Amino acid sequence: MAHSLTASCSRPCANKDRGTVKAELEELVRKYDRGGLAELQASFSAPDELQKNIFFVRVTSVAGVDALVIQSRARGTVELARVAVATPRDDPTWQEVPTSDGTRSWVIYTARLADGRLLQVGARTSDRRSCGRIS
C-alpha cells in the first residue's frame, strides 16, 4: 500500500520541482539577455545568496566548455560529469541526475541562449521519502 501512495505522490513532487526550475531558468534567461554572464554572476555574488541558493546554474557551449558554473555547497553539488550537454532543439530539454545517496535527483532544464550558449538550471528534487508521507 505504501508503494502506491509514494508512486501517486511522486508526480506532484516532480511537477512542483520542474515548475520551480523552469521559473528560475526563465528569470535567468532574462538576466542573461540584459547583461550576459556578468548579470548572472552578480545575481549570486553575495555570500548569503550562495547559501540560500537552491539552484545549480551552468552556462556552457555546445562543446561543453563552461563559461559559468554556480553551485551552493550548502545544498550539495551536482556531479557535472553526469550532466549531459546535449544540443537542445528549439524546445528546452529536461534531464534528471540522481544524487549519490539515491534519495533525490537533480532536475535540470537546458535551454539555448540567444548567443548559442546553453543555460542549464537545476535543483535537487523533493526528498522521495518525504514525498509519500502524510502529515
Does residue 69 form part of some domain?
yes
pLDDT at 36 over 90: yes
Nearest to 127 by CA among 61, 75, 59: 75
Question: How does residue 126 score in pLDDT terms, banded at 50, 70 and 90?
Answer: low
Domain that holds residue 118: 2-127
**Residues 6 or more apart whose Cβ sits within 8 Å of residue 76:** 99, 124
- For residue 67, is it within any domain? yes
Would 57 be classed as within a structural domain? yes
**Counted domains in the chain:** 1
At residue 17 the predicted structure's pLDDT band, cuts being 50, 70 and 90, is: confident
Closest C-alpha to 25, from 89, 119, 126: 119
Instruction: Output the domain CATH number for residue 11.
Output: 3.30.450.20
pLDDT tens track for 69-118 = 888 765 667 777 777 776 656 667 888 888 777 777 888 888 889 998 99
